[in-house]
Chain A
Amino acid sequence: MSYFFQLVVSGIVVGSIYALSALGFVLIYKSSRVLNIAHGQIIAAGAFITYALTVWVGIPIYIAFGMSMVITFFLAMSVERIFLRRLIGEPIISVIMVTIGLMSILDGLIYLTPFGTENFSFPPYLPTTPITIGGVSISWTQLVGVIITFSMIAGFSWFFKKSTIGISMRAVSDDQMASMAIGISVPKVFGLAWAMAGLSAAAAGGIIGNITGLNFDTLHAFGIVVFPVVILGGLDSIQGAVVAGIIMGLIQQFASGYLDGNWGLNGTGEVMPYIILLIILLFKPHGLFGIHEIERV
């Protein structure tokens, strides 16, 4: 039984990281209907900036983590301002091509730094002995990661529900013309959505880097992993991303925990989430929480 709970715990850890990675993707899609293919690169950049600040500059890691979120906040905002702003109103395929280009540029820039090819890991700053309760263990890095993830998600949900800017962002995602008519600056909202996506990506990057080590391939792969998560959650729902992220994490852990090694199976953790995704999409094509538009004809 403790094996089961161990799998649940690691499933939730992995899943909450998926959720945080997917959050930025959903933010951008929700406000501006842009699929940001370069999201994984921003996650990686956030992790590397944290590392550079703490190891090379010597800033305490928690402050470095916060600073890297601020830096990616402005980085993503300028990306929107420079590249995406001119594409407002252009066909969606052009916008996607631009974010693919962005991905290549960021890839190239990161390969210019040592981070592109070498592996790094954060200096240990937490106790290394895992916490064990009733046979279920969780490492300190995982625990801190989960706590930061959930508080960030709670913060974002509150922001969208209650704050004036959050409400304007929801208004823009519903109807841009109407939002302009009531005095909301739509370009400002797009910029802010990117900025907040950058911020959450840096947080995700820092947490992933902390748990798995800093490897560019691992980090930017999270940009791909978010696709099944956001599709399952329904592309424009934050709660959906959280639930779907955790479902994905659990399926992955259960599959590799129970199926691998039996009946000659291996690596099921990588495949199973997609199989379940396909089955769920058969019944709910808009994802679990996506908006199913019914139009009056």
Chain B
Amino acid sequence: MKHLIVSDVTLTFGGLDALTEVDITIEPGIITSIIGPNGAGKTSVLNCISGFYHPSQGTIYYGERNLTHASPHQVSNIGIARAFQNLELFSGLSVLDNLLLARHQHLKYSIFDALIYFGKASRQEAENRSYVEKVIDFMELEPYRKSLVGNLSYGVQKRVEVARALTLDPELLLLDEPMAGMNIEEKEDIVRFMFDLKKEWGITIVLVEHDLGVVMDISDQIYVLDFGVVIGSGKPENVASDPKVIEAYIGEE
């Protein structure tokens, strides 16, 4: 299993420092959460990892692979998938097509195989389909399989977003506020999915989330950001009692 190591990353937009010398190590097989007040730079960290932004300084390594200047499609092709905070789905397609499209980039048969559609091509299509069905099953999206994504409720669309990321068969999953705007039941579902992903699928999860109750419950490791600086890290119980973290969240007495 590979470690994702973000070391000494600084990200600046003009004169604004979004991240300053951030060091984060994501250990494989656990749930790591990144928390912090609004504008602390949580999503910027995810953007740097997934290649949407490139740090002005510092490096990002996934195992041996240098991701510092990788582009988003390269990152997603090496097993790091991401679910966006704002939904980024093909809203005119059905749930099934959205997920199949994510598999589509990984089809490896040639045009000749496709013409004959026997052996390699049909086998790969069948494998893809069964993998997608496994994801649909796992995310409990069966009732919406054929519905247009744009017509589904927000909570379900969020689940499709996570499912789309899973369809890429990732080793590492970046979840950007998967529970924002959800009610308690829906949140419980997502928490259950994350536990199962960790235990049964062996997927490493990086979670950015505002609901501190959930974060403290499920995380194995927490990083706290404030104004682009890591102000605390460690196990949930240690972070919760860290005076600097309390100050960032509640303010000084």
User: Would B90 and A164 count as touching, CB distance under 8 A?
Assistant: no
The count of residues in chain B whose C-beta lies closer than 8 Å to any C-beta of chain A is 27
The residue of chain A having its C-beta at the shortest distance from the C-beta of B98 within the complex is: A178
User: Would A183 and B88 count as touching, CB distance under 8 A?
Assistant: no
CA distance A186 to B72 in the complex (A): 9
B-chain residues with CB within 8 Å of residue A185 when the two chains form the complex: 71, 73-74
A-chain residues with CB within 8 Å of residue B107 when the two chains form the complex: 164
CB-CB contacts below 8 Å: B74-103 with A: 74, 76-77, 81-82, 84, 88-92, 101-102
User: Would A175 and B89 count as touching, CB distance under 8 A?
Assistant: yes
B-chain residues with CB within 8 Å of residue A184 when the two chains form the complex: 73, 105
A-chain residues with CB within 8 Å of residue B92 when the two chains form the complex: 174
B-chain residues with CB within 8 Å of residue A63 when the two chains form the complex: none
User: Would A177 and B88 count as touching, CB distance under 8 A?
Assistant: yes
**A167-B104, A181-B81 given as contacts; is B88 within 8 A of A175 (CB)?**
yes
**A171-B90, A175-B88, A175-B89 given as contacts; is B104 within 8 A of A180 (CB)?**
no
User: Would B88 and A178 count as touching, CB distance under 8 A?
Assistant: yes
CA distance A163 to B109 in the complex (A): 11
B-chain residues with CB within 8 Å of residue A275 when the two chains form the complex: none
B7 to chain A, nearest CB (A): 24
A155 to chain B, nearest CB (A): 13
CB-CB contacts below 8 Å: B121-137 with A: none
- Sorted nearest first, the 9 A-B pairs with minimum C-beta distance are A180-B72, A177-B88, A178-B88, A182-B102, A183-B76, A183-B105, A185-B73, A183-B77, A183-B73
Question: 10 more A-B contacts (CB under 8 A) besides A180-B76, A181-B88?
Answer: A164-B104, A171-B90, A175-B89, A178-B88, A181-B50, A181-B81, A182-B104, A183-B105, A185-B73, A187-B71
